[in-house]
A and B are shown apart, each in its own frame.
Chain A
Amino acid sequence: MKYSIFSLARAALSGHKNWQRTWRDASPKDHYDVVVIGGGGHGLATAWFLASEFGIKNVAVLEKGWIGSGNAGRNTTIIRSNYGLPGNTGFYELSMKLWERMEQDLNYNSMVSQRGVLNLYHSDAQRDAYARRGNTMRINGIDAELLDQAALKKMLPFLNFDHARFPVQGGLLQRRGGTARHDAVVWGYAHAASELGVDIIQNCEVTGFVRDGNGKVTGVETSRGKIGAGKVGMAVAGSSSRVAAMAGLRLPIESHVLQAFVSEAIKPLIPGVMTFGAGHFYVSQSDKGGLVFGGDIDGYNSYAQRGNLPVMEDVCEGGMALIPMIGRVRLLRQWGGIMDMSMDGSPIIDKTPVDGLYLNAGWCYGGFKATPASGFVFAHLLARDESHKEAALFRLDRFQRGAMIDEKGQGAQPNLH
């Protein structure tokens, strides 16, 4: 069904009893042109772009749980394109442009809110680094403003400007950045893809790959039977290594746990997204009023979907250093998602050495903002067998070639990103 003011009025007149399901809960067919493993944001976006941009509509998305059951349902919802390295800058701006038209594209309210993303700086050296990042962004046609302390005092008078160790000196602001409603994004892609004929198959776990005599992947074994496929794309985030292992591949990826936190609702305080530059803490405020915040990964391999107290303490210390007034706000809930940490902190969107198998992985803890562009370039790769130009550097073999995209400048160790 198409959502509009008229469908809303019609539904209201009939007492809201005639709403149709947002997407069809499909059962698997014998064969698809493309099977996408993983019904998160990236997998669903890939399927929608395959159907809408590349004319491939005989597509299935296989999800072992239900749509929204993983990281797509519980992340900190930030969208931004403030990257400084070739490979990342253009890609994330492509994503930002797709966010800006997403709701019209999908006929779905994904609550994209360009409320601004502000990275604070606390030293002269950090200011210089942000000035350079901002220049890089502007050269690439991306909005960026370097704000000084006086400007910030008007915007955010409650910050701890005179902190003895980490005084807030200013920040790099991208006004077009902001937030989007995480689960409405996957629901929107599921809705729009399903409308175009894509089968979204939940509770369907991939247990192996079907290979022909030449080793080419020709389908998948699943908990709901064998499904044939012309091509198979993997978009399974923290499960990347486990699924790749079924095809005999080892990846330059470790799975780590990242915690996200939500406080009780308070009155409007934080207008946009804000990051502390001296510790790892970032925060925004949801439309319901809760502070949504997070920090570092816990730092050890994990598939457990829960974290531990030391990082929680570290994140809260960062929050207290930056905004002492939130000290008495109570923490409402917390969750740990499994991140596919690549070795340089940047993603991998590439063919694999296995014919017929394509990889979309290594998003670390920044996958949400990439959702639309990730789907678009992965669909491009699956449809045309060549990388989209904005994803040309996200190669699987870049570690072997020494062509890392080390945005954080911390070297090639997953627990540093």
Chain B
Amino acid sequence: MRIVCPFCGERELSEFSYLGDAKPQRPVANAGEDAVYDYVYLRDNVAGVMAENWYHGGGCRAWLKVTRNTLTHEISAVEPTAGAGAAKVGA
């Protein structure tokens, strides 16, 4: 598995760190315990195409949103995460 960093080009996997499913959103402060439990512990655990957060820590240190198939490891899209400090995403 290699990831094509939108800033650096194609890089080996060991330059990246994984932070899992990009779908869950942190609940608002007064959302209640059930919402926090759901956010922290429950997972869709997608078997198939999944949007994920990856961090190019061994390279340009940009956060990336990677669309990857968990059944095949095929990567179909890599985008900078909004707010990553990159002009390309108009942060």
Give the B-binding residues of A (Cβ under 8 A): 241-242, 250-255, 299-304, 306, 308-310, 313, 343, 399-400, 412, 415
Is A251 in contact with B42, judged by CB distance below 8 angstroms? yes
**In angstroms, how far is the closest chain A Cβ from the Cβ of B23?**
12
Tell me whether A400 and B45 are in contact (CB under 8 A): no
User: Of the candidates B12, B20, B37, B71, which one forms a contact with A303 in the assembled complex, judged by CB atoms under 8 Å apart?
Assistant: B71
Cα separation A251 to B12 with both chains bound (whole Å):
31
8 Å CB contact of B13 from A303, A309, A399, A400? A309
B79 interface hit (Cβ, 8 Å): no
Does B71 contact A415, Cβ atoms closer than 8 Å? no
Interface assignment of B47: CB less than 8 Å from any CB of chain A:
yes
Give the one of B14, B20, B40, B70 with max A CB within 10 A: B70
- Show 23 residue pairs from A and B whose CB-CB distance is below 8 angstroms, ordered by the A residue: A241-B44, A241-B45, A250-B44, A253-B43, A253-B45, A255-B47, A255-B70, A301-B45, A301-B70, A303-B47, A304-B70, A304-B73, A308-B73, A309-B12, A309-B13, A310-B13, A310-B14, A313-B14, A343-B40, A343-B41, A399-B37, A399-B40, A400-B37
* Residues in chain B near residue A308, CB distance under 8 A: 1, 13, 73
User: At the interface, is chain A mostly helix, strand, loop or mixed?
Assistant: mixed
Q: Interface residues of B toward A: which range?
A: 20 to 34
Within the assembled complex, what's the spacing in Å between the Cα atoms of A381 and B13? Answer: 43
Q: A310-B12, A399-B41, A412-B40 are in contact. Are A300 and B47 (CB under 8 A)?
A: no
- A309: chain B residues within 8 A (beta carbon): 12-14
In the bound complex, what is the Cα–Cα distance between A207 and B47 (angstroms)? 15
A299–B1 alpha-carbon span in the complex (Å) = 13
Cross-chain contact A301 with B13 (CB below 8 angstroms): no
CB-defined contacts of A303 to chain B, threshold 8 Å: 47, 70-71
CA distance A313 to B14 in the complex (A): 10
With contact pairs A300-B52, A304-B70, A308-B13 given, residues A252 and B41 touching in the complex (Cβ less than 8 Å):
yes
Question: Which A residues touch B86, using CB under 8 A?
Answer: none
Q: How far is the CA of A308 from the CA of B12 in the complex (A)?
A: 10
Bound: A302/B18 CA distance, A: 12
Q: A308-B1, A399-B37 are in contact. Are A252 and B42 (CB under 8 A)?
A: yes
CB-defined contacts of A302 to chain B, threshold 8 Å? 70, 73
